[in-house]
């Protein structure tokens, strides 16, 4: 297995997608570093748009009560946060689990577009971002975590999650991601 540093050579804008994970009103208002997180998230979204990297937003969409899991809290955290709202051409995936691959057509979208690298941003680092990044790796994709553009309500859990993921795949700054996309069409 290649180490995270060696994996950087596979990150190209033509094979990448930017995932904006669950950046919804209630979640944004609960993160420990709200202003910094939003600024860095906007920076990376703007860079992806400028470089024509496709953007996929996820949105927690609870099942009706009768069909919800009795083992999970069902709640609706509101709409996607207005400051980073999707634009025409972006994809919005309604989802019900902590993995972007379970119950969605995300893998089909990736396959159709020839995408092999998934850059993760959003909330929460230690829940859906890490779960989806690990699932992506298990399916043969290259997950990349934008460490400045992910957050959580729990700072310690966020930091532990970043450290865990950095052992497995690239956890990069916005500047590193944007430089790789600019240098590697």
Work out the number of other CB atoms within 10 angstroms of the CB of residue 54.
18
Integer angstrom CA distances of residue 144 from 7, 17, 158: 9, 10, 16
Low-confidence ranges of the chain (pLDDT < 50): none
Residue 3: per-residue pLDDT: 86
- pLDDT at res. 124: 98
Beta bridge partners of 68: none
Q: Is 69 inside a domain boundary?
A: no
Q: Indicate whether 147 belongs to any domain.
A: yes
Specify which residues 56 forms β-bridges with.
19, 91
- Residue 166, helix vs strand vs coil: helix
Cis peptide before 124 (omega within 30 of 0): yes
Residue 73 lies in a domain: no
Q: How far apart are CA 49 and CA 120, in angstroms?
A: 15
Query: Quick one: pLDDT at residue 179?
Result: 97
3-state secondary structure of 53: coil
**Per-residue confidence (pLDDT) for residue 1, from 0 to 100:** 66
Q: Does 71 fall in a domain? A: no
Q: Domain for residue 8, yes or no? A: yes
Domain containing residue 97: CATH number: 3.40.50.850
Question: How many domains does one find in the chain?
Answer: 1
Q: Is residue 29 part of a domain?
A: yes
Return the pLDDT at 68: 82
Q: Which domain holds residue 152?
A: 4-63+78-183
Q: Is 58 inside any structural domain?
A: yes
């Amino acid at each position: 297995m290649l180490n995270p540093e060696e994996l950087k050579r596979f990150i190209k804008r033509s094979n990448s997608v930017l995932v904006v994970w669950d950046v919804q009103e209630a979640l944004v208002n609960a993160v420990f570093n709200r202003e910094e997180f939003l600024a860095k998230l906007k920076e990376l979204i703007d860079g992806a748009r400028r470089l024509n990297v496709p953007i996929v937003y996820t949105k927690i969409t609870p099942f009706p009560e009768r069909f919800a899991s009795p083992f999970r809290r069902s709640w609706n955290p509101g709409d996607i946060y207005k400051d980073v709202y999707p634009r025409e051409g972006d994809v919005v995936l309604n989802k019900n689990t902590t993995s972007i691959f379970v119950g969605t057509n995300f893998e089909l979208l990736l396959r159709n577009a020839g995408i092999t690298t998934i850059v993760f941003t959003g909330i929460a680092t230690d829940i859906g971002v890490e779960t989806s990044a690990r699932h992506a790796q298990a399916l043969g994709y290259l997950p990349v975590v934008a460490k400045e553009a992910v957050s959580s309500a729990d700072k310690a859990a966020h930091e532990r999650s970043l450290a865990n993921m950095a052992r497995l795949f690239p956890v990069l700054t916005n500047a590193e991601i944007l430089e790789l996309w600019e240098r590697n069409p």
